[in-house]
Homo-oligomer: A and B are copies of this chain.
Amino acid sequence: MTSPRRPPRTGFLLSQLGAFASARFGELIKPVGLTPAAAGVLRIIAREPGLSQRALATRLGSVPSRVVVLVDSLEAAGHVSRTRDPADRRHHRLDVTEAGRQVLGALRTAAETQNADVLAPLDAAERETFTALVSKLAAAHGLDPDVHAGYGVRQSRPEN
């Protein structure tokens, strides 16, 4: 007779943990007035000033129309500026404003708090080990911490 296999729970628990971490960050930045997705976009633009919306869409693995909505909200909030590129007036250069830079500071603080909250149950040594393993997995799977993953690689179907 076959013994009843114990189900492999790590993958599921990892999904749960990721969702938990994401939700926690969402709560923490609510006072800042940004969604996690918009926060990720702000960080990407800060990292690559002058990015075009098209390039941003590629970076996000998303579509131009989605980028319009995200940038609209950031621009309306005064965190990001759109400037027509004089060299090719079809392009919009995206840049972080001074106000946006201040928000980036708040986001970093929120990230630190989130990090501490999520890892709180681990002691210092465990935390270090865990961080190393998570980094290794993320790198191996080609994940970018600034790309908000609604719930993963859509493209094919909303698999929620």
Contact = CB atoms under 8 A, between A and B. Distances in A.
Interface string A96-121: 00000000000010011011001111
Interface residues of A, number: 63
A144 B30 CA distance: 25
B147 A150 contact: no
Please tell me how many copies of the chain the complex holds.
2
| Chain A contact surface mostly | helix
A63 interface: no
Contacts of A23: 149, 151-153, 159
Given A27-B159, A137-B122, A140-B121, A152 B115 contact: no
A21 B20 contact: no
Contacts of A145: 9, 12-13, 15-16
Given A7-B111, A10-B131, A135-B13, A159 B20 contact: no
Given A8-B111, A22-B152, A133-B133, 14 more contacts: A7-B108, A8-B115, A9-B145, A11-B119, A16-B145, A17-B138, A20-B143, A23-B152, A121-B136, A121-B140, A129-B133, A130-B130, A150-B151, A151-B151
The 7 A-B pairs at the shortest CB distance, nearest first, are namely: A18-B18, A23-B152, A26-B159, A121-B140, A19-B149, A12-B145, A8-B115
